[in-house]
Structure 1
Amino acid sequence: MEKIIVPVDFSEHSEHALNTAAKLAKRYQSELLVLHMLEMPEMVLTSSGKEQNEKAGFLLRLTEQKIEKLLKKPFLLNLKVTPIIKHFKMFSEVNDVAIKNSAELIVMGTQGASGFKEMFIGSNTERVIRYAEIPVLAVKNRVVDIQFGVVAFACDFSEACIPAYLKAVKLFEKMGSKIYPVYVNLPNDNFKSSIEIENKVAEFFMKAFGNLDRMDDVHYISDYSVKEGVLNFANKIGADLIALPTRGRKGFAHFFEGSIGEDVANHATLPVMTFKI
């Protein structure tokens, strides 16, 4: 992992993300690209000529000072860190910066769920995930252990999920992680028999690898919702990370009906990594 990009807004949550990214960078000798998307206030945009330039210049210098202060954090010591400031237009630009700089991972902080308010949905992190061509690691808190030895990969074993699963396998094998794919069997109309699920999984692996060598790693969980099934499974196996496929611009609405993926990311205390289908 040569380069890791970390969008920051100078909040506590983005600092958690930067801290996590720094640990990953130290482990893999990666370069950190610290990105701030500078949003110009309406008062600046509506100014004219010289006044607009002066106000924009002031905001840019203020942002540079904040980044300079942030990069003095002890956990960044002895790391190669490159600050990047981009004028904010839309958060698809984070993916553009990542691709231009050949970054292999985006690390972002998220507030997750708070009471009755789903802070993650519609957040900047969710917007980045919609457009990201590379994996996105979303963290709520300061991650103590970045070994990610045990990974729960939520999947419905449809053919559409094969590209995301192959990306996950490639990355986690480099990290020395053990992946446990999980299928959540639901009641009522979504219920499938054991034979139906096993046939679906077998077809998935034959198309993905041409063999059934990974069948023994798959777990089948029965629960009332995919979200609860994934979270309960992750807790049961002592997972360090939850991984999910995503259809890119449709956010987490992939193989799950509704926004189950968003629910998982909102309510998981573990870090969540997404892979675009």
Structure 2
Amino acid sequence: MKNILIPIDFSSTSHKALEVGASIAKRINAKLVLIHMTGLEEGLNGKNNSFEQAIYYSKVVGKKFEELNELPFLDGVVVEPLMQKHLDFEGINDLAKDIDAALIVMASNGSSGITEIIKGSNAEKVVRHSEVPVLVVKDNDINFAPERLLFASDFNIEAIKAYHRMVEVATILKARIDFLYVNLPGKNFKSTSELDETLLQFFKEVNHPDPVKAINTVNRYADYTVEQGVMNYAAISGADIIAIPTHGRTGISHLLQGSISEDIANHALMPVLTVKM
């Protein structure tokens, strides 16, 4: 049985991730592993946090997990609740690997402005550090019934690992894969022949059965930034999920270069799948 990991804080936003996770679990007979991070470990040294209060809060969390199990969309789904005393969204990756998770489903309200620059969203932190594919969903009315997964890439050799993992998730979701290359003005612009050469090399390396034919399946869209191009094309193409590789940059490298995948996960209204390169 496959495992799907879902960080949950019992908000309506995380309930959306739970609903999406349940939909996937029913498709593939998977177990949902729910992790709630209490932050108790950080607070026990404070004046207002006693050991008794920690025990009380643990019981409250247990009760909330019991209430979740009563949600109609979880009927027939195997659910395993976990509680972690410390807040560590960056460490979700370790837990995902420990339980051999096939996918992390994470809900996000997104972030913008100064909050995005300084802090980012919790989903961003998970995306940045996770070696397990992460599906980021928003708390909106979009019905999760994916049929078309749009894989946006530069199709360089370093994206090969991400491609294979994306194919695995698309298979799990039973979704068709569409390909997208965003052509930018300036030094990153590629002519048709240059792009064809890049695509041919890529599809050969991923052992596509017909690399020449595969070249013609890649949609080419011109825009001023990759983020704009991906979201604009996704909106007009009828895609249900945007899938994009991520470098998972951290530290000063992340501050200087940012991450296209994190920006798209933050700003897109439709679900976004990020896969580590």
TM-score, length-scaled by structure 2:
0.88
Which residue number in structure 1 is paired with residue 131 of structure 2? 133
Candidates 70, 89, 93, aligned match of 1:72 = 70
Distance 1:44 1:191 in 2: 55
- Select the residue among 163, 175, 178 that pairs with 2:176: 178
1:94-125 CA distances to partner (integer Å, 9 max, x unpaired)?
22222222221110100125688649962211
- Counterpart secondary structure, 2:187: helix
CA–CA distance in structure 1, aligned partners of residues 40 and 101 of structure 2: 26
Residues 85-100 of structure 1: matches in 2 within 5 Å?
A: 85-100=83-98
**Identity over aligned pairs, percent:** 39
Q: Taking structure 1 as reference, are residues 270 and 85 closer, same or farther at Cα in structure 2, changes over 3 Å only?
A: same
Describe the superposition over 1:143-189 as per-residue Cα deviations: whole angstroms up to 9, x where unpaired.
65444211111101111111001111122134332211211111122
Q: Residue 220 of structure 1 aligns to a residue in which SS?
A: strand
In structure 2, C-alpha distance between the alignment counterparts of 1:22 and 1:52, rounded to whole Å: 36
8 Å CA contact 1:154–1:181 kept in 2: the answer is yes
SS in 1 for 2:205: helix
2:189 aligned partner: 191
Pick which of 60-69 and 144-153 moved more: 144-153
Change in 2 beyond 3 A, CA 1:134/1:120: farther
Question: What's the offset of the Cα at 1:261?
Answer: 2.5
AA of the residue aligned to 1:99 = K
- Corresponding residue number in structure 2 for 1:205: 203
**Aligned runs of 1:44-193 on 2, under 5 Å?**
44-46=44-46, 52-113=50-111, 118=116, 122-142=120-140, 145-193=143-191
1:268 aligned onto 2:268 = yes
TM normalised by structure 1 equals 0.88
Q: Which amino acid aligns with 1:123?
A: S
Q: Distance in 1 between matches of 2:221 and 2:2?
A: 36
Distance 1:23 1:3, change over 3 A: same
Equivalent residue number for residue 8 of structure 1: 8
Contact 1:17/1:142 (8 A) holds in 2: no
Please state how far the C-alpha of 1:236 moved relative to its aligned partner.
2.2
Q: SS state of the match for residue 70, structure 2?
A: coil
2:9, 2:74 → 1: CA distance?
Answer: 17
**Is residue 41–residue 86 contact of structure 2 (8 Å, CA) maintained in 1?**
no
Correspondence list, 1:12-27, <5 A: 12-27=12-27
Indicate conservation of the 8 Å contact 1:16/1:143, yes or no: no
Report the residue type matching 1:245 in the other structure.
P
- The amino acid across from 1:100 in the alignment is D
Q: Which residue of 2 aligns with 1:37?
A: 37
Contact map agreement 1:8 1:34 (CA 8 A) in 2: yes
Displacement of 1:43 in angstroms is: 4.8
Counterpart of 1:73, as a letter, is: L
Q: Which residue of 2 aligns with 1:242?
A: 242
Q: Match for 2:124: what amino acid?
A: E
Aligned-partner SS, 1:239: coil
Counterparts in 2 of 1:53 and 1:201: CA distance versus 1, 3 Å: same
Q: 1:144 to 1:223 in 2, by over 3 A?
A: closer
Aligned length: 272
Please state whether the residue corresponding to 2:265 is helix, strand or coil: helix
SS of the equivalent of 1:209 reads: coil
Unaligned ranges ≥5, structure 2: none
Kept in 2: contact 1:179–1:217 (CA 8 A): no
Give the AA of the match of 2:92. Answer: V
Q: 1:153 to 1:160 in 2, by over 3 A?
A: same
C-alpha distance in structure 2 between counterparts of 1:139 and 1:43, whole Å: 30
CA shift, 1:7, in A, is 0.6
Structure 1 residue 140 displacement after superposition: 0.4
Question: What amino acid is the match of 1:157?
Answer: F
